[in-house]
Chains A and B, each alone.
Chain A
Amino acid sequence: MNAAAAAERAARDSYGRLLALLAARSRDVAAAEDALADAFAAAISAWPRGGVPDNPEAWLFAAAKRKLIDASRRKRTANDGKAQLQLNVEELEAETAAGDMPDRRLGLMFACAHPAIEESVRTPLMLQVVLGFSAERIGAAFLVEPTAMGQRLVRAKKKICDAGVGFDVPAPSDWGARFAAVLDAIYAAYGAGWSDPLGADPERRGLAEEAIWLARVLASQLREEPEPLGLLSLMLHLEARRPARRDRDGRFVPLDEQDVGLWQRQSLGEAEALLRAAAAMKRPGRYQLEAAIQSAHATRAWRGEADWDAIVLLYDALSELTGSPVARLNAAAAIARRDGPERGLAAVEALVQLFPALNVYQPYWALKADLCARLGRGEAAAVAYDEAIAREADPAVRAFLEHKRSRL
């Protein structure tokens, strides 16, 4: 990372931490964003003349706090009797007079992932308030018109303010679905970046890196929780394979055919260490299982072969835990690798009886096509490839499927 990128990263880290502090007290994310934007603007004009302060973060915070207090005083005069605002401002002043600034980003993430917030906007909201992404950038990554995305974000922030969503991290006993929603939002951000593995679109490429960054923040603040480590491990495993996912001509390369020499050993090593640390806490969860599956694939880099026994077992455990038909489909694919295509196809066909919704899922058809082809059932394979191709949005994956079909 060069100096400019390091500075940008430091600013981004500060952004989320400062916004979390300001918003936690004002409870008004939009007002905190305005105050912080003013503070950053003031810094841009003041620092080149007077020099960068010793503690830029403290400088920015002091400036933003003044703006926020000014704004809330104006609001208070406009509507008298708002004792609550007075209280918030006093709390804010007391908290920061102490000198050490607490890190409230985690509370901010929990607020963004609150069940009172519409599900589809939780991830974008987190990206905006914790990382400072613009609505344009988020819209580009999630394939939503920037104006529409902007409106959704504004509505969500208004809801946080009007409904009185708190910014305190709830006690673990009260986490319920909210903790899972925080993890899911980070993974969704990663997924939005992952689906463009060539990195041709810088908006989305950056998103995968930022998701990993968010997971690091989460893991650093929840040291007693294994799932953030599991999530981080999972993403680093996937990230390690990024260079191998496309060939020189930009063609999709399935996991089985990837050149393990291209896998990034450093990321794999970190992913493995994180998973071990998570496993030591003896509280398995969805992301630890998913990371363990990727870890069992990664043994190919050392032993030349993925650990298919472990993969089948882990997918079974994941299916049990999540009830997800996708996990079951992956279990069937692993069975096919371990026990042969006939057993695999039987598992796939039993599964689609149970979950007819798989009929609209591209990977179901791609798996079925591959297994039929291996069993010499050319006609059935062709039909399944056609179904898979019709359901694939990524041109590189579509080209891969078309190539496979043409070789039947």
Chain B
Amino acid sequence: MQYALLVYETETDFAARDDVERKTAYRAAHLDFLNSIKGAGIAIQSVVGGAGLKPPHTATIVRKRGGSRLVVDGPYSDIKEQLGGIYLIDVADLDAALSWAERCPTASTGAVEVRPVNVD
């Protein structure tokens, strides 16, 4: 089954991406994570796709109401932890997905939401 790991990062996590001293470690941790899924050795355990996102202050919201476009600044919901990126993986079941989510570097600072992908 395919699962999206929605990675919710704290402000500190987002800041690490641009911090000269921390960005190497931050990137290396996620790269290691990605490589360990790819290298799990079992055909059905694989990375389907994924992407990191720019920090929440870069977000812009669009709505269309009554024919006009409404554009506002900021992320969709104003909460402490924000969506920082997505991994799409293909594994046997929820437990396999949860164990990968647990190994995602952000799990120990922010949170990782596991959602099955709708393939119908």
Instruction: Report the minimal beta-carbon distance from B104 to chain A, rounded to whole angstroms.
Output: 17
B93 close to chain A: CB less than 8 A: yes
Judged by a CB distance under 8 angstroms, whether B21 is at the interface is no
Chain B residues lying within 8 Å of A174, measured Cβ to Cβ, are 95, 99
Q: List which B77-120 residues lie within 8 A (CB) of chain A.
A: 92-99, 116, 120
Looking at A159-167, A224-232, A279-287, A368-376, the stretch in contact with chain B turns out to be: A159-167
Interface residues on A, range: 10 to 19
Question: Does A116 count as interface, using CB distance less than 8 angstroms?
Answer: yes
Complex alpha-carbon distance, A116 and B3, angstroms = 14
Residues of A within 8 A of B116 (CB): 162-164
Which residues of B have CB within 8 Å of A84? 1
Residues in A with CB closer than 8 Å to B95 are 165-166, 170, 174
| A163-204 CB contacts (< 8 Å) to partner B | 163-166, 168, 170, 174
Q: Are B94 and A114 in contact (CB under 8 A)?
A: yes
A81 to nearest B CB, angstroms? Answer: 9
Q: Shortest distance in angstroms between A106's beta carbon and chain B's nearest beta carbon?
A: 15
Q: How far is the CA of A318 from the CA of B81 in the complex (A)?
A: 38
Chain B residues with CB under 8 A of A2: none
Does any Cβ of B come within 8 Å of A79's Cβ? yes
Per the bound structure, the CA–CA distance linking A116 and B95 in Å amounts to 10
Report B-chain residues with C-beta under 8 Å of the C-beta of A116.
94, 98
Which one of B92, B98, B120 lies within 8 Å of A79 (CB-CB)? B120
Residues of B within 8 A of A164 (CB): 1, 3, 93-94, 97, 116
Chain B neighbourhood of A79, CB < 8 A: 120
Q: Contact between B93 and A165 (Cβ–Cβ < 8 Å)?
A: yes
Cα(A165)–Cα(B96), bound, Å: 9
Bound Cα distance A362, B3 (Å): 46
Give me the interface of B with A, judged by CB distance under 8 Å: 1, 3, 92-99, 116, 120
Query: Can you list 10 A-B contacts with CB-CB less than 8 angstroms, sorted by A residue number?
Result: A114-B94, A116-B94, A116-B98, A164-B1, A164-B3, A164-B94, A165-B95, A166-B93, A166-B94, A168-B93
The 6 closest A-B pairs by CB, nearest first: A166-B93, A164-B1, A164-B94, A164-B93, A165-B94, A163-B94
